[in-house]
Amino acid sequence: MDLAIYLLLTYIIASIPFGLLISKLFGRDIRKEGSGNIGATNVTRVLGKKAGFLVLILDASKGFIPTYYAYYYFQDYLYISLVAIIAVIGHCFSIFMKFKGGKGVATALGVLIALSGKTAFIIILFWLGVFLISGYVSLASILSASLSWVVIFYVENNIYYTIAAFIISLIIFYKHKDNINRLLSDTEHRFLHK
């Protein structure tokens, strides 16, 4: 399989809106409830922890599986990095949702675990720290995304992975623009410390 087909398949697989599908199983439409996002955070908010955890695992797998497999299939850092970026783009700009989609955090986590387990471990700890202190999922996600490319640069010393993580962090930033506005106006929904 050549790179173009692999990227196309990655895009299509990552486009699968698991949050939306699982909410439909509950007879609900996640896009019309809570923040309206299809991600694990909003599924947890609306449908509970078990459904949210399932969406987290499924959305992370969409990033992890194509990126991890690309590592063995292509053995080329540029190609692996392109797959990583396309996986996040698939989730955020889904072909099954008229190019709308989620905010990319869980899929980016799966990508990061595939690219660099050490970096993912550091970022998960950082995410937990910000979340526990602030109570905001979105703030933890935005700051973690911003830090990820710096950490992967130092841990892996790989320019392709660093640029991929940087581009993914820009996508996550863009997708959180409403959250950023709510954080700035102190109207963002808190998960903890209500």
Report in angstroms how near the CB of residue 172 gets to ligand G3P at its nearest.
Answer: 8
Residue 160 CA to residue 97 CA, distance in Å, equals 29
- Closest CB 14 distance from ligand G3P, rounded Å: 15
Estimate to the nearest angstrom the gap between the alpha carbon of 114 and the chain centroid. 13
CB of 117 to ligand G3P, least distance (A): 21
Structure tokens at 46: 């609306």
**CA-CA distance, 41 to 19, in Å (whole number)?**
10
Residue 39: CB minimum distance to ligand G3P, A: 4
State whether the Cα torsion 11-84-131-52 is positive or negative.
positive
Q: How far is the CB of 41 from ligand G3P (least distance, A)?
A: 4
Both structure tokens of 132 = 């526990």
**Closer residue to ligand G3P, CB minimum distance, 114 or 188:** 188
Nearer to ligand G3P, 7 or 89 (CB): 89
6 vs 64, beta carbon nearer ligand G3P? 64
Nearer Cβ to ligand G3P, position 36 or 117?
36
Nearer to ligand G3P, 80 or 102 (CB): 102
**Interface residue list for ligand G3P (CB under 6 A):** 35, 37, 39, 41-42, 103, 105, 137-138, 141, 179, 189
Q: DSSP assignment of 23-92, as one string? A: HHHTT--GGGSTT---SHHHHHHHH-HHHHHHHHHHHHHHHHHHHHHHHHHT--HHHHHHHHHHHHHHHH
d(CA 12, CA 7): 9
Is 183 strand, coil or helix?
A: helix
Compare residues 120 and 137 and give the one whose CB is closer to ligand G3P: 137
Q: Min. distance of Cβ 185 from ligand G3P in angstroms?
A: 15
